C-alpha cells in the first residue's frame, strides 16, 4: 500500500484535562471548539469563523497536545503534518500532499488540520534559505495559500499551525482570512510546572515524599515535554534499581539527566549561530 501522506486520527481521545497549565491558551482555543461544534450558530449572524490560528511558543510547550485536545473536545478528526517534512522534498510532492490533506479534511465535513513547524514551509521568501533549496518549499507554501483561500469560512475545517518563529513567516500567511489569529503557548511558570508534573505523575507508582511542588521548584526553564521526560526517566531509573516505587532521589537523577541532555543539544546547535 501507498505510504501515508500525513497522519489522520478519526477519534481523538485527548481532551483539555490532558493539557496542564496554559489556562489562557485553553480559554482561547475553547472558542474554536465552540465554532467546530456548531458553526452555523456563529455564521447565522453574518460572522466569519477564523480559518487559521497560529500557536506560537518554544518547543515542547504543548502546542501539538493543545491542537489535538481541540479536536478531542470538539469530536472532530485530526489531520496533521509537519513543515519540516517538506524540506528536501521532490518537486510537486509537497504541493500534492497539501492538496490531498485539505481534500480529505473537507470530506469529513468538520476537522482540525494541524501543521507543525509551519515556519519550515512558511518562511518569508529569501530569508535564511540556502540558494536553490527552496523551490518545493515555495510550491508547498503557495498550495497552502490556495487551499486556505479556497474553502468557505463556514466549512467547519479549522487550521491550527505551530511555530516558535512567527517573525520569519511570510506575510502572505498572516493576512486576514488566513492565519490571522495568534495564541501564545509559553513555557510554564512554577505553578504550571507543578500542574504538568501532576498530570505526568498520575500513571507512576510513587514512594512517599514525592512532591510535585518540589519537583516544579527544581526544574526552572523546563517545558512540558521535558517534564514528561523527567517522569518517565525517573520510573526507568527506579526500575533499574529494582525498586517497587519511584522515590524523590530517582526524580533528582532524572532531572540531572534531562539537564545534561539539554546541554548537549545546545552544544551541537551553537556552532551554527
- Extract the annotated binding site for ATP: 57-64
Q: Which of 44, 13, 265, 63 is nearest to 165 (CA)?
A: 63
Least separation in angstroms between residue 175's CB and ligand ATP is 24
Determine, following the binding rule CB under 6 A, whether residue 63 of this chain makes contact with ligand ATP.
yes
Position among 6, 12, 19, 147 found at the interface with ligand ATP (CB under 6 A)? 19
The answer to whether 62 contacts ligand ATP (rule: CB under 6 A) is yes
Residue in the block written with cell 467547519: 156
Q: Which of 6, 12, 21, 231 binds ligand ATP (CB under 6 A)?
A: 21
**164: CB partners within 8 A, 6+ apart:** 56, 57, 58, 59, 119
Q: Least Å distance between CB 45 and ligand ATP?
A: 34
Q: Coil, strand or helix: which one is 21?
A: coil
Backbone torsions φ then ψ of 128, nearest 5 degrees: 65, 20
- Among 5, 172, 225, 262, which residue sits at the site for ligand ATP (rule: CB under 6 A)? 225
Residue of 12, 36, 49, 199 interacting with ligand ATP (CB under 6 A) = 199
Stretch that binds ligand ATP, among 18-26, 36-44, 203-211, 234-242 (CB under 6 A): 18-26
Question: Would you say 105 or 120 has its CB closer to ligand ATP?
Answer: 120
H or E stretch covering 150: none
| Cα(25)–Cα(66) distance, integer angstroms | 9
Q: Strands 78-82 and 7-9, how do they pair?
A: antiparallel
Compose the 113-152 pattern: x for residues touching ligand ATP by CB under 6 A, - for all others. ---x------------------------------------
Q: What is the sign, positive or negative, of the torsion defined by CA atoms of 128, 130, 131, 135?
A: negative
Q: Which residues bind ligand ATP (CB under 6 A)?
A: 19-22, 59-65, 116, 162, 196, 199, 224-225, 228
Amino acid at each position: 500500500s501507498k505510504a501515508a501522506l500525513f497522519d489522520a486520527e478519526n477519534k481523538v481521545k485527548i481532551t483539555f484535562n490532558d493539557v496542564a497549565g496554559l489556562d489562557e491558551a485553553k480559554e482561547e482555543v475553547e472558542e474554536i471548539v465552540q465554532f467546530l461544534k456548531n458553526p452555523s450558530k456563529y455564521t447565522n449572524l453574518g460572522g466569519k469563523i477564523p480559518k487559521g490560528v497560529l500557536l506560537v511558543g518554544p518547543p515542547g510547550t504543548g502546542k501539538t497536545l493543545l491542537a489535538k485536545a481541540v479536536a478531542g473536545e470538539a469530536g472532530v478528526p485530526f489531520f496533521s503534518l509537519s513543515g519540516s517534512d517538506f524540506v528536501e522534498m521532490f518537486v510537486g510532492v509537497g504541493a500534492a500532499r497539501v492538496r490531498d490533506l485539505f481534500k480529505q479534511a473537507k470530506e469529513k465535513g468538520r476537522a482540525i488540520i494541524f501543521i507543525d513547524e509551519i515556519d519550515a514551509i512558511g518562511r518569508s521568501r529569501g530569508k535564511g534559505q540556502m540558494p536553490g533549496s527552496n523551490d518545493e518549499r515555495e510550491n508547498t507554501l503557495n498550495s497552502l495559500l490556495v487551499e486556505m483561500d479556497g474553502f468557505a469560512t463556514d466549512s467547519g475545517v479549522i487550521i491550527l499551525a505551530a511555530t516558535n518563529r512567527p517573525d520569519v513567516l511570510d506575510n502572505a500567511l498572516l493576512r486576514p482570512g488566513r492565519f490571522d489569529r495568534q495564541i501564545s503557548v509559553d513555557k510554564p511558570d512554577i505553578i504550571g510546572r507543578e500542574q504538568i508534573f501532576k498530570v505526568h505523575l498520575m500513571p507512576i507508582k510513587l514512594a512517599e515524599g514525592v512532591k510535585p511542588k518540589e519537583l516544579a521548584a527544581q526544574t526552572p526553564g523546563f517545558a512540558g515535554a521535558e517534564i514528561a521526560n523527567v517522569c518517565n526517566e525517573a520510573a526507568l531509573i527506579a526500575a533499574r534499581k529494582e525498586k517497587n516505587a519511584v522515590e524523590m532521589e530517582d526524580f533528582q537523577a532524572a532531572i540531572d539527566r534531562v539537564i545534561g541532555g539539554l546541554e548537549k543539544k545546545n552544544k551541537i546547535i551553537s556552532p551554527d549561530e
